[in-house]
Structure 1
Amino acid sequence: MISKHKSAVYMDGKSLLEEKIKKKNRRKDYLGTYLFLTPALLLLFTFSFVPIIYVVYLSFHRVRLPDDPIFIGIGNYAQLMGDSVFWRSMGNTLIYTLGSMSLGLFAGLCVAVLLNRAFKGKRFFKVFYFLPSVTSDVVSAMIFLWIFDHNLGILNYLLPKVGLVEPPAWLLDPFWAMFILIFVGSWRGAAYNIPIFLAGLEGVPKSYYEAAEIDGANGWHKFWRITIPSIMPISVYCMVMSIIASFQVVAIVDVLTDGGPDNSTLVALKYVWQQSFQFNYVGYGATMSLFIFPFLLVMTWLNLKLSKRSG
């Protein structure tokens, strides 16, 4: 009995020692992990969280450089609520977002479906269609400015030769100016979406289509019942990225319309830039930035919520 008791005590002591060694090794692993993460966390804190905190600070002050900030409480927020130009810029941004996102997703999916077929030169087209997304916004906008400029644009030079004597001043008309911005945005968006959609299409198992063919499904049924549900997560990703990119658009607006005519193409970020750097109302620009961020967050959340329901 005594030997059994000693053996049990020895086993308990051994297990406790092993547990202590495991905890010590676990702490070492955690320490190593945190040491590796520290540089990235410091960069994130310095260049993300600190600027956000500073923007919050600026939103409660009247700031006109190089003067010192003057605390005004919620004065900037009260001004924002009554700023009709800001709300119009938000409306323009929503129109641009819905238009460019819809066209960009549709065109990207259509081209990806075509590229998913086997044909010669497929690799060349994969690279060729991706080029607009890696081209500078300014360069892309300049290309379309040379096309649609009412004085020097190539389109208004060619249209009279085919019978249209008085072509429209594209970028001076509110409807056509917004349409051209949406077209440019969707053109760039489609270029970004094509390789993503193509990767998703190539990942759909062929057995799904073969089973559907056995059941008598045609091409349209296979597309709606197999392809679309299979690439839904990728579609949601492209939609979210399109929304984020649309709220960041400013370069193509600068080059093509500068927010005109009559603020009809003035988007939110362009208005923030005007107030902050052109008119030197830095505190008010910070307030608008803070309002746009949660609005963008809500839009993204709704998009994800709707995609889960449809899935």
Structure 2
Amino acid sequence: PTGGHLYRISDGKKPKIVAMIQCVGSRSLKRNPYCSVVCCSVALKNAQLLKQEYPDIEIVIFYIDMRTWDKGNEEYYRKVREAGVLTIRGKVGDIQEDQETKKLKLTASDTLSNQILNLNADLVVLSTAMVPSKSSAKLTETLGLSTDSYGFLSEIHGCLKPQETTNMGVYICGCAAGPKNIPSSVSTALAAASKVATLLSKDTIIQELMIAEVDDTLCLGCRRCEKLCNYNAIKVNGHAIAEVDGLKCKGCGVCVSSCPARAIDLKYYRDKQVIEEIKGICSTALEYKEEFIESIELIWKRIEALAPHQT
């Protein structure tokens, strides 16, 4: 908005003292408890650019913790401080405008020296929190995606499947999944593109064999499975019967264990099959195999008593 030149928009004057306040709206239990990742590095970059262009300007950065964690950023932090930028570990508690001089009076705490500081600044720069886009809510509804407690798109697993979503064929990258800097955004974008290329390179999509099956005669239509399914693979139809989307189902078994009517089973992984497998494996390995087999058979009889129509 200023064409690359530094001046106050209110009166067009060049500021002599610039204060930068970090974590405004971030790392706060009242607003957003998470770190916005990029703010510290961006503040250091802007401070260095200002020092290069206007060496006579005094710059003060107030921070909670200087989180310059990426490659080369710690060295960059030292370089900026050596250039004359002052960094103070502490929060700014109050900002008041002097009606005569139009300066901004800052009251802050220095947690390292345990002192209260007062600073008159000509310009205050706030590093505000990175929040989800306003269109995220509509996007999640359209694509059937889930979000975390802050509104960012959720991945299936943060470590094992960081780009995959609960909707097959939809992948996330960059700040859609949470605050990221440019290198991290590029890396996740490349990973998502690789996932898409792998999917499109196949002529056919192989469906999971071990997926959930619903017994129409036992289903109560309680929608418990529908609410618990992380992959949106189960929907209750107009006849109050749960239906499974075979392409979306991953065979996790959450619906099976949660069904109060025991109306859901996993293909090739039914209770009776598992019991027989356990009996077969353990019958030759246990010293007290007869007692063990009797216990397994007793458990199975109790299961049948709970759901006599299920096999």
What is the TM-score when the length of structure 1 is the normalising length? 0.19
What is the TM-score when the length of structure 2 is the normalising length? 0.19
- Of structures 1 and 2, the larger Rg is shown by 2
Larger strand share, 1 or 2: 2
The answer to which structure, 1 or 2, has the higher relative contact order (CA under 8 A, 6+ apart) is: 1
